[in-house]
Amino acid sequence: SGDIFRSRPVMVNDLTTTHHHLCHLESTLPYKLSKLKALATADDDLVLPAQDFSQQAHVPSFEKYLEMYKRSIEDPAGFWSEIASEFYWKKKWGQEVYSENLDITKGKINIEWFKGGITNICYNCLDKNINSGNGEKIAIHWEGNEPGVDGFLTYNQLLDRVCQLANCLKDNGVKKGDSVIIYLPMLMELPIAMLACARIGAVHSVVFAGFSAESLVQRIMDCKPKIVITCNAVRRGKKVINLKDIVDAALAESSQNGISVGLCLTYANESAMKKEATKWQKGRDVWWQDVVSEYSTKCDVEWVDAEDPLFLLYTSGSTGKPKGVLHTTGGYMIYTATTFKYAFDHKPSDIYWCTADCGWITGHSYVAYGPLLNGATVVVYEGAPNYPDPGRCWDIVDKYKVTLFYTAPTLVRSLMRDGNEYVTRYSRKSLRVLGSVGEPINPSAWRWFFNVVGDSRCPISDTWWQTETGGFMITPLPGAWPQKPGSATFPFFGVQPVIVDEKGKELEGECSGYLCIKSSWPGAFRTLYGDHERYETTYFSAFPGYYFSGDGCSRDNDGYHWLTGRVDDVINVSGHRIGTAEVESALVLHPQCAEAAVVGVEHEVKGQCIYAFVTPNEGVAYSEDLRKSLVVSVRTHIGAFAAPDKIHWAPGLPKTRSGKIMRRILRKIASRQLDELGDTSTLADPNVVDQLIALADK
């Protein structure tokens, strides 16, 4: 597992002399391609694009990229308004294409794009493609958990379904600006519900269907939805998960806390659970199938301002309370569409599959909006990627002739462990671009993905971005430049990444530090719902003048970016962001837990796993039963995906004399780097360290 996290970038020594840093917009190339080619065989840390791929790509060369990038930085208004003009606007935006203040010392943080422009993202995803003659093109191929169970919707059919639901929502009192919570698995109804909300100007908040009832309550209390949309149950692999029970529990608790939701629209997913077996609350619960199909398949669009909210998506931060990341309409639309087109080199004939769930940002931007805005054909898969066996992904790739395949490093690593035979028994010859997201991809997983899955033919787009950024920020453009396994490479158009030191000083050339972004981009989030102050302090205060990502990054001599992971109290488990504070709160809610401290530890498949130090109450003996019930506590307060892998019994925690827990020491103990504990003399009680070490494998 040694190379899961790179501590420093891989270097291509000979190139350093000719390099000029990209961000300074030198007109010369940062390196000489001819020289790279000569090196390629000698140094396999460079993977060159195939010539025939580059020739057909939207951006065929580094020169072309630089030309476009330069324009996007020097004239963002011109660059983005030209692209925006390719979409439908009821009314064009005002004089200013964008306005921004990212400098907290100069006043309120403010980002606006295309303000005054009137549009609708659902119209641009569906009606626009239909009007240009693509109504009979397949929008969604749906593949069920069980092999052989599938379905599809053309753009025409998708529009009909979206309109029916939109009419139903309107009829039930949902108006522009109202929020709607969607708690659904990967059925077609999930993107349908998102688009229906967008069509009528309602703000959707999709909650990943792996979150517990309590997490759902938190989100209901925060955004006070008019309606909750869910289904009775879902099959994932061999398991049946009863989602309706979770929603019932959440709605009961919310109404005790003063927030009653009047309608729970429930899709009957009878392949997982019969209607009759579903618990029902008359007056509140309504079967989707009983009502939605009664509505007209025509629904007028609610035209909205570019800066009207499109959706809320809750994500973890460094405190216990999840943050409601708010995205608006116009900029997000243009940004997701453009990033999708270029980073995957999307063409109308492509079949695209992203394995992410719509409950995360990747599913919002790159299952639903980005692809549909491009008129793409999207595969939506309901089930687990290794069910019924680890060959399922490639079975699906062959079945639909998938050309663009986008997934997470954790899945790559887990399939890699299952052996090549599961891959090579399928053809996969349709594939032309692979993508990776969610966490740094370690070079060995990158190589396996490239060589085995892609038969050394398909470029890999390792896309660095975040819930907050809306779309890709640092990403390869396939075909445009050589790749280095494990590097997200260069910034997307309009993005100015800077690496700063602790004092906020921009570092030049080969460097390593905190990744920030200078100046806004259309897809940026505009606020944290109901808490603009938290938005400003979390993202714009650490380094005034910049957006701070929370990630560490280094840049090598060729200008390639290497993400090194979170530098804050966020753990990335299988590409899921989990706040250490959230897990700690869940643990201390356990009646026998006095104190808890959580750290992330390197994990071969998950990237990181959750390691919890727990101090039981005075007089409580630590036992296997206690361990189990502590894990259950996290599952019920957050969700199964946040369950700690290890509970380390801690009679005491290492604290400074002022009572601050020294996580640095806990991280070293958790990863068993016991000879690197560093200075422990400032601890209030240095003995706790020896005590913890003694209990390490108890």
Q: What is the DSSP string of 233-282?
A: -EEETTEEE-HHHHHHHHHHHHHHTT---SEEEEE--TTTS-GGGS---T
CB closer to ligand 6R9 out of 152 and 641: 641
Give the 3-state secondary structure of residue 133: helix
Nearer to ligand 6R9, 475 or 496 (CB): 475
Stretch that binds ligand 6R9, among 32-40, 140-148, 338-346, 430-438 (CB under 6 A): 430-438
Q: How many CA atoms lie within 13 Å of 252's alpha carbon, on the beta-carbon side?
A: 9
Binding mask 515-544 for ligand 6R9 (x = CB under 6 A): ------------------------------
Q: CB of 135 within 8 A of CB of 125? A: no
Instruction: Reply yes or no on whether 3 is catalytic.
Output: no
Among 563, 609, 647, 650, binds ligand 6R9 (CB under 6 A): 563
Q: Which is nearer to ligand 6R9, 89 or 562 (CB)?
A: 562
Q: How do beta strands 547-555 and 511-518 pair?
A: antiparallel
Q: Is 437 in the site for ligand 6R9 (CB under 6 A)?
A: yes
361 in contact with ligand 6R9 (CB under 6 A)? yes
Q: How far apart are CA 600 and CA 621, in angstroms?
A: 25
Choice between 74 and 604, CB closer to ligand 6R9:
604
Q: Which of residues 294-323 bind ligand 6R9 (CB under 6 A)?
A: 315
CA 14, CA 10: separation in Å to the nearest integer? 12
Outline where 292-391 has alpha helix (H).
330-343, 361-363, 370-373
Which residue lies nearer to ligand 6R9 by CB, 164 or 489? 489
Per-residue x/- marks for ligand 6R9, 611-650, CB under 6 A?
----------------------------------------
Strand partners, 354: 406
CB 552 within 8 A of CB 565: yes
Closest alpha carbon to 197 in 306, 315, 324, 302: 302
Nearest distance, CB of residue 647 and ligand 6R9, angstroms = 25
Q: For ligand 6R9, which stretch binds (CB under 6 A), given 28-36, 48-56, 210-218, 562-570?
A: 562-570
Smallest gap from Cβ 205 to ligand 6R9, in A, equals 15
Q: Which of 14, 245, 531, 568 is catalytic?
A: 568
- Interface pick for ligand 6R9 out of 49, 375, 550, 600 (rule CB under 6 A): 550
Of 506, 547, 549, 544, which is closest to residue 106 (Cα–Cα)?
544
Question: What residues between 450 and 489 interact with ligand 6R9 by CB under 6 A?
Answer: 462-467, 488
The DSSP symbol for 59 reads: S
Selected range binding ligand 6R9 among 14-22, 223-231, 527-535, 560-568, rule: CB under 6 A? 560-568
CA atoms of 101 and 547, how far apart (whole Å): 11
Please tell me whether residue 21 adopts helix, strand or coil conformation: coil
Q: Residues in contact with ligand 6R9, total (CB under 6 A)? A: 25
Binding ligand 6R9 by CB under 6 A: which of 205, 338, 362, 574?
Answer: 362
**Residue keyed to tokens 């020289």:** 35
Report, in Å, the least distance between residue 362 CB and ligand 6R9: 5
> In the complex with ligand 6R9, which residue's Cβ is closer, 127 or 462?
462
Nearest distance, CB of residue 470 and ligand 6R9, angstroms = 10
CA–CA gap between residue 150 and residue 156 (Å, rounded): 18
- 117 or 552, CB closer to ligand 6R9? 552
| Phi then psi dihedrals of residue 566, to 5 deg | -70, 145
| Pairing relationship of beta strands 607-616 and 593-603 according to DSSP bridges | antiparallel
What 248-254 contacts at long range (C-beta under 8 Å, 24+ apart), as own/partner pairs, is 248/279, 248/281, 249/213, 250/213, 250/214, 250/216, 250/217, 250/220, 251/220, 251/284, 253/213, 253/214, 253/217, 254/217, 254/220, 254/221
Closest CB 38 distance from ligand 6R9, rounded Å: 29
> Whose Cβ is closer to ligand 6R9: residue 188's or residue 578's?
578
Residues that bind ligand 6R9 (CB under 6 A): 315, 360-362, 436-440, 462-467, 488, 549-551, 563, 565-566, 572, 575, 577
> Which residues are tagged catalytic?
568
